[in-house]
Chains A and B, each alone.
Chain A
């Protein structure tokens, strides 16, 4: 391979690195109305009356909309393939407000100041209802968060609306009671993972206008342009054909832009007024009024024998989906589906749980998508099991983990009676290499470095998926332009991770030509081929496979064209990238430019050369990671310094080592943030206290010391050039590995994230009592 597996620089790197105007708000080139949202000050209330007359009359105000002005069509903001597994439990504006920050009114004015002043003139009378703020008390709470009768689900997700249950899940295999009975060693603990904010640098934003033919155009910072088109059309009751979505460069997503959080607001303003409108969420709205990771409580029961053979894995989850059910059932399910297959020796596995509504900011997709939560619980329990057995935790894992070629009934692609097969996995080698890189032999479990400081190591493993099996779809078109350049048309959304580049690498590799021969365009739903979008670690695997198909298709067409031009049958030709030549006749060939010119001439009698490919996988091959943390804990203050973090990754073939490394480092740091610093906190009235970067602390440069990323590539036969995914899997190991290292340093197991110095110190005091 000449281009794939090379550290090629990003094709748009220089544009975005030097401050060029490439993001949504930089592209608003007309005078657009500024859209602001009046938000609920109450966690749960019914709007009794709302008086907007004064606000409407203020000069410069274009419109003020309330729940009386919006369609009575419930929808979900979750960017998922239709029919979405998320409940249709929202209106653009509702007479109920279900969390502090929920939308009450939409104000559009000529400028921000006017909009804010108009907002202050709106008088709302609320009937305040008792909120549900503790998710452990949600089921059967006297307050029903969604009392509305017209809430819809596309299919049964185990919703029990009157009980505040948004979704239910049960995954099981084997006889659990029997397996536990045969387990002389039992570990049973409960773990809590917090809501986490995406914290992407560019907040949610969108700009809307009607084009000359009256179609609604939405320029938006999104991961899911095609879903946005459908969501907006449904919510506003207009035909999808009347909506066009354009995605320019995005300043980060992490799943936060897999929800259509903002688009409906300027869209309805544009439809009502006919004028361009824009909404730019400020950081407070970004952190407080969009979505976060689902906070979860997960009870784990492990059964094993004295030799460390795992017999049973039983997990019970409760997930907090907040005010709306975006991604409620899928995140809940994935926390089981992508953790249970890890320990294939288990005779019985079970994962059950509920996602519940509460009067807090809705949860949604965030990198890791439930696996992060499940892995913290499972891996912490495994580490505790090793401790209880007095065994090296790496050894316990090596004994039990799933290996390449094995089958497992929970793996994606499994059918009844036909467990899915793991085609590629180097997890065992990842563990071996990780141990070497962190110095496990010398450092495990801990060393005292001074009177007040101890250093220790800890570990965890994880898996994820690559796209959603049976659901994700990507189409790709490559066209040969008349100048001999290729246009690579994709619908997958580049959001900084380099997907445009790695997809071009795959096209260039297949078409055997340099990267500079390709043009890649941003997404425009009018022009781009359909793609479900960039989420669920799907881009490399799903869209990548479609790229190869499209390139092969085009290659075939070019060969046929050359065959005609040269008068040589196909089997006598060889594709060489910039030329197609005749085998054994080195002088006889046509160049790419000649082919392009040839199809361009000929008075419309020639077929223009375009290759197309579509891919949707029936499995979602898992990437794997072994993660190792070394910490230094100050025994007096509890301060934890993360000295080193090692992650050894099996993402199949590494398409672009540089970009994969950065993707991994970034994901690890986001996981480190979740492990140590980040927390979404509410006060007693349900007001979020962490809706600024002053209070919600993502890691800063000084928090990160050394991170070592290494690859142990497997070869995934169903993947493009053997590749799997890397986007999400990288976030999962830091919470359990750091918790383990802190335990080895202090004897304190922190089972509720984040692992703060206070919890560590108090834990030490507790155990010395």
Chain B
């Protein structure tokens, strides 16, 4: 690939404050995550800021929450015993189908979430949980709000997920297994509260709020599940791209939401 991006200067800060200062020195200064997509861009970066010396690659657990550092790789998410033991393992399940192990060793959680990629499987799974992003300046923001609004130029330090007794399911539809998802769905259940998250619409993941609410209120019958899945496909917007049309995504949404609900109820 003709390399059109360029890095003029390279910095490896030892503190987040230092990284933040560098980031705001020039508009085009850029934080480096996994760099998986860097070379596909055309940017000239005055200073590239490498976050790999800040110890942000840890997955930690305490009584109330799980923290995933921004520089944690998808591969680390995939094999993390903490993440496999919680939320029915949906975070590892969501990342493990993404290309190969050598790719997942490159891609980082922070860059993915910060970039709010529409195609992301990880974000959809995360959105079904009680998740927050921790920004250096912006502080703690619920993931849904962050996805909706983004943020001022800031450093995403980690993701925090509150530990609850959550059942969760993740389903993605791909044509080739090595491809991006045409649509992905995560469903979670915590007592009587449900969250239905749908991503790769192809826009970024969103919660189907009405469908999630209806599910929490009604009888959990086959008919109700059908109704909820139809509602989810109706209340969300979908778009077309080369992987699928809007209409097909609607069909998939209904099918995958139904499967997700049945799984968390099982």
Binding site for B on A (CB under 8 A): 36, 112-113, 116, 282-284, 636-637, 639, 676-677, 681, 689-690, 692, 694-695, 697-700, 702-703, 756-758, 761-762, 765
Closest 7 CB pairs of A and B: A700-B178, A702-B177, A636-B255, A697-B176, A758-B248, A677-B176, A282-B1
Contacts of B256 in A (CB 8 A): 637
Q: How far is the CA of A601 from the CA of B178 in the complex (A)?
A: 63
Q: How far is the CA of A381 from the CA of B246 in the complex (A)?
A: 31
Q: How far is the CA of A703 from the CA of B177 in the complex (A)?
A: 6
Q: Is B55 close to A, CB under 8 A?
A: no
CB distance from A224 to the nearest CB of B (A): 27
> Cβ of A284 and Cβ of B2 under 8 Å apart?
yes
Q: Is B3 close to A, CB under 8 A?
A: yes
> Cβ of A758 and Cβ of B176 under 8 Å apart?
no
Interface residues in B220-266 (C-beta closer than 8 Å to A): 242, 244-245, 247-248, 251-252, 254-256, 258
Contact with A along B170-191 (1 / 0, CB 8 A): 0001011111101000000000
CB distance from B266 to the nearest CB of A (A): 15
Q: How far is the CA of A689 from the CA of B240 in the complex (A)?
A: 14
Q: Is B12 close to A, CB under 8 A?
A: no
Q: How far is the CA of A435 from the CA of B3 in the complex (A)?
A: 52
Contacts of B245 in A (CB 8 A): 758
Q: Is B38 close to A, CB under 8 A?
A: no
Contacts of A677 in B (CB 8 A): 175-176, 179
CB distance from A763 to the nearest CB of B (A): 12
Our pick among B173, B178, B247 for the contact of A637 (Cβ within 8 Å) is B173
Q: How far is the CA of A699 from the CA of B182 in the complex (A)?
A: 16
> Cβ of B178 and Cβ of A758 under 8 Å apart?
no
> Cβ of A762 and Cβ of B2 under 8 Å apart?
no
Q: Is B11 close to A, CB under 8 A?
A: no
> Cβ of A282 and Cβ of B2 under 8 Å apart?
yes
> Cβ of A699 and Cβ of B176 under 8 Å apart?
yes
Contacts of A36 in B (CB 8 A): 2
Interface residues in B1-53 (C-beta closer than 8 Å to A): 1-4
Interface size of B by Cβ–Cβ distance < 8 Å? 23
* Supplied contacts A692-B1, A762-B247, 10 more A-B pairs, CB within 8 Å: A282-B1, A283-B1, A639-B175, A695-B242, A697-B175, A700-B178, A703-B177, A756-B175, A758-B182, A761-B248
CB distance from A285 to the nearest CB of B (A): 8
Contacts of B179 in A (CB 8 A): 677, 697
Binding site for A on B (CB under 8 A): 1-4, 173, 175-180, 182, 242, 244-245, 247-248, 251-252, 254-256, 258
CB distance from A317 to the nearest CB of B (A): 26
By beta carbon, the residue of chain A nearest B6 is A113
Q: How far is the CA of A757 from the CA of B256 in the complex (A)?
A: 14
> Cβ of B248 and Cβ of A762 under 8 Å apart?
yes
Contacts of B1 in A (CB 8 A): 282-284, 692
Contacts of B180 in A (CB 8 A): 694
Contacts of A703 in B (CB 8 A): 176-178
CB distance from A387 to the nearest CB of B (A): 26
Contacts of A689 in B (CB 8 A): 242
Q: How far is the CA of A756 from the CA of B252 in the complex (A)?
A: 13
CB distance from A741 to the nearest CB of B (A): 16
> Cβ of A702 and Cβ of B178 under 8 Å apart?
yes
> Cβ of B173 and Cβ of A700 under 8 Å apart?
no
Contacts of B175 in A (CB 8 A): 639, 676-677, 697, 756-757
Q: How far is the CA of A454 from the CA of B79 in the complex (A)?
A: 34
Given A282-B2, A677-B175, A700-B177, A758 and B242 touching (CB < 8 A)?
Answer: no
Contacts of B248 in A (CB 8 A): 757-758, 761-762
By beta carbon, the residue of chain A nearest B251 is A761
> Cβ of A681 and Cβ of B176 under 8 Å apart?
no
Q: How far is the CA of A113 from the CA of B178 in the complex (A)?
A: 32
Contacts of B4 in A (CB 8 A): 116
Q: How far is the CA of A765 from the CA of B179 in the complex (A)?
A: 25
29 A-B contacts (beta carbon < 8 Å): A36-B2, A282-B1, A282-B2, A284-B2, A636-B251, A637-B251, A637-B252, A639-B175, A676-B176, A677-B175, A677-B176, A677-B179, A681-B242, A690-B242, A697-B175, A697-B176, A697-B178, A698-B176, A702-B177, A702-B178, A703-B176, A703-B178, A756-B175, A757-B182, A758-B245, A761-B248, A761-B251, A762-B248, A765-B251
Q: How far is the CA of A676 from the CA of B176 in the complex (A)?
A: 8
Contacts of A697 in B (CB 8 A): 175-176, 178-179
By beta carbon, the residue of chain B nearest A699 is B176
By beta carbon, the residue of chain A nearest B244 is A758
Q: How far is the CA of A702 from the CA of B254 in the complex (A)?
A: 25
By beta carbon, the residue of chain B nearest A282 is B1
Pick from A676, A690, A695, A697 the residue with the most CB of B within 10 Å: A697
> Cβ of A639 and Cβ of B173 under 8 Å apart?
yes
Our pick among B2, B173, B178 for the contact of A757 (Cβ within 8 Å) is B173
CB distance from A200 to the nearest CB of B (A): 17
CB distance from A145 to the nearest CB of B (A): 25
Pick from B178, B254, B256 the residue with the most CB of A within 10 Å: B178
CB distance from B169 to the nearest CB of A (A): 15
Q: How far is the CA of A116 from the CA of B4 in the complex (A)?
A: 8
Our pick among B3, B176, B244 for the contact of A112 (Cβ within 8 Å) is B3
CB distance from A292 to the nearest CB of B (A): 16
CB distance from B78 to the nearest CB of A (A): 15
Q: How far is the CA of A636 from the CA of B230 in the complex (A)?
A: 13
Contacts of B251 in A (CB 8 A): 636-637, 761, 765
CB distance from A50 to the nearest CB of B (A): 19
CB distance from A114 to the nearest CB of B (A): 12
Q: How far is the CA of A570 from the CA of B244 in the complex (A)?
A: 74
Contacts of A757 in B (CB 8 A): 173, 175, 182, 248
Contacts of B2 in A (CB 8 A): 36, 116, 282, 284
By beta carbon, the residue of chain A nearest B241 is A689
Q: How far is the CA of A699 from the CA of B178 in the complex (A)?
A: 7
Contacts of B255 in A (CB 8 A): 636-637
By beta carbon, the residue of chain A nearest B256 is A637
Q: How far is the CA of A282 from the CA of B225 in the complex (A)?
A: 49
CB distance from A61 to the nearest CB of B (A): 16
CB distance from B95 to the nearest CB of A (A): 15
CB distance from B131 to the nearest CB of A (A): 27
Q: How far is the CA of A328 from the CA of B178 in the complex (A)?
A: 33
Q: How far is the CA of A284 from the CA of B4 in the complex (A)?
A: 13
Q: How far is the CA of A113 from the CA of B248 in the complex (A)?
A: 43
CB distance from A277 to the nearest CB of B (A): 17
Contacts of A694 in B (CB 8 A): 180
Contacts of B247 in A (CB 8 A): 762
Contacts of A698 in B (CB 8 A): 176
Contacts of A699 in B (CB 8 A): 176, 178
CB distance from A109 to the nearest CB of B (A): 13
Q: How far is the CA of A639 from the CA of B247 in the complex (A)?
A: 16
Pick from B4, B179, B258 the residue with the most CB of A within 10 Å: B179
Pick from B4, B177, B242, B254 the residue with the most CB of A within 10 Å: B177
Contacts of A283 in B (CB 8 A): 1
Q: How far is the CA of A761 from the CA of B182 in the complex (A)?
A: 14
By beta carbon, the residue of chain B nearest A636 is B255
Q: How far is the CA of A677 from the CA of B242 in the complex (A)?
A: 12
Contacts of B173 in A (CB 8 A): 637, 639, 757
CB distance from B264 to the nearest CB of A (A): 18
CB distance from A287 to the nearest CB of B (A): 11
Contacts of B176 in A (CB 8 A): 676-677, 697-700, 703
By beta carbon, the residue of chain B nearest A765 is B251
Q: How far is the CA of A761 from the CA of B173 in the complex (A)?
A: 13
Contacts of A762 in B (CB 8 A): 247-248
Q: How far is the CA of A689 from the CA of B179 in the complex (A)?
A: 15
Q: How far is the CA of A702 from the CA of B97 in the complex (A)?
A: 10
Q: How far is the CA of A191 from the CA of B255 in the complex (A)?
A: 30
Q: How far is the CA of A112 from the CA of B176 in the complex (A)?
A: 34
Contacts of B3 in A (CB 8 A): 112-113, 116
Contacts of A761 in B (CB 8 A): 248, 251
Contacts of A692 in B (CB 8 A): 1
Q: How far is the CA of A407 from the CA of B175 in the complex (A)?
A: 44
